[in-house]
Amino acid sequence: MGGGMRSFHDCTRHLKYLRQSLSQDNESIGFFLSAGCPLSVEMSSDCWPLIPDVKNLTKYINEQLKGDEKYASLLGELSKAEKNCENIEDVLSFVRSCLLVSKGGEVRGLIEEDFLSLEGKICAEIVNKLDVDLPGPYTPYHRLASWIRSIDRKTPVEIFTTNYDLLMEQALEELEVPYFDGFIGSRRSFFDLGAVEDDLIPTHWSRLWKIHGSINWYQEKQDGVNRIFRSSEVKKMLHI
């Protein structure tokens, strides 16, 4: 900065503001849960982490599929395209972008059926690794759910997450905290866009927004239209 002025961050002032915001019932409050959040769950050293971070999840998937010639070819093409082979999100995005233009032809040495098969195998390995339960009732997820339950708010608490796992759902349900994730129904819940757009859900229901999807979401074609459903059970072959 010019003029010899110094900039500093007043931690005490910001902490006081944060506490006031969290304690009031009329503030709009949202939380973002990223890929590293499951690392906060305490477990014995031989079991930790409950769910690995993106880099280690990618290593796991690469190890599981190392004998697959098509997958090896895919990683080679990723490197040629200067994409990150250590980020499974980049790998999936690459597969899906190639799939879109592979109909009736070949893309980077692979055909449509290859990309469909690879997408299914990658998603299956992700589901296998992420289909886990919280180890006890006192995890950080449970503490967040307990805090949400503690105050009747004029505006609902919103939770945004890029994670596919069901850890936040488990904590909310074990503490009987009502929430809305965009789906309606119990047998085969369907996504209700109208309820989301018009905000028709009671304010005491928290909102859980899974930006990248979930391991218990699946796609089916009905009357020629692809529709997204949510299952109470995790199906092993999901396209997340």
Domain closes at, from 130, 155, 181: 130
Q: What is the pLDDT of residue 211?
A: 94
182 and 105: one domain? no
- Residue 25 falls within a domain, yes or no? no
Q: What is the mean pLDDT of residues 39-54?
A: 94
pTM of this structure: 0.85
72 and 141: one domain? no
- Residue 120 falls within a domain, yes or no? yes
Enumerate helices (H) and strands (E) in the chain, giving the number of each.
Answer: 8, 10
Residue 197 φ then ψ, to 5°: -70, -40
Is pLDDT of 239 > 70? no
- Contacts of residue 194, defined as CB under 8 A and 6 or more positions apart, other chains included, come to 200
What tens digit of pLDDT does each residue of 105-163 get? 899 999 999 999 999 999 999 999 999 999 999 999 999 999 999 988 888 999 999 99
147 and 192: one domain? yes
Where b means 16+ CB within 10 Å and e means fewer, 205-214 reads ebbbebeebb
* Closest residue by Cα to residue 205 from 163, 172, 166: 172
Domain closes at, from 107, 130, 153: 130
- Contacts of residue 192, defined as CB under 8 A and 6 or more positions apart, other chains included, come to 182, 183, 184
In this structure, are strands 225-230 and 217-222 parallel, antiparallel, or unpaired? antiparallel
Higher-scoring residue by pLDDT: 153, 171: 171
Rounded Cα–Cα distance for residues 165 and 216 (Å): 9
Domain closes at, from 130, 154, 174: 130
- Residue 60 falls within a domain, yes or no? yes
158 and 224: one domain? yes
Placement of tokens 């994670």 in the chain: 163
Question: How many domains does the chain fold into?
Answer: 2
Q: Report the range of poorest mean pLDDT among 13-27, 81-95, 196-210.
A: 13-27
93 and 153: one domain? no
146 and 218: one domain? yes
Q: Is residue 139 within 8 Å of residue 190, measured between CB atoms?
A: no
Tokens of 175: 């503490």
Rounded Cα–Cα distance for residues 44 and 184 (Å): 38
182 and 120: one domain? no
Q: What is the pLDDT of residue 4?
A: 55
Tokens of 117: 């098969």
Helix (H, G, I), strand (E, B) or coil at 227: strand
Q: What is the pLDDT of residue 1?
A: 45
- Residue 19 falls within a domain, yes or no? no
Percent of the chain with pLDDT over 90: 65
Is pLDDT of 175 > 80? yes
Q: Is residue 28 within 8 Å of residue 153, measured between CB atoms?
A: no
Q: Which domain holds residue 63?
A: 54-130
Placement of tokens 């950080």 in the chain: 140
- Residue 86 falls within a domain, yes or no? yes
What tens digit of pLDDT does each residue of 179-224 get? 999 999 888 899 988 888 888 888 889 999 999 999 999 888 888 8
Tokens of 125: 């390995």
Helix (H, G, I), strand (E, B) or coil at 75: helix
Q: What is the pLDDT of residue 187?
A: 83
Tokens of 42: 């305490």
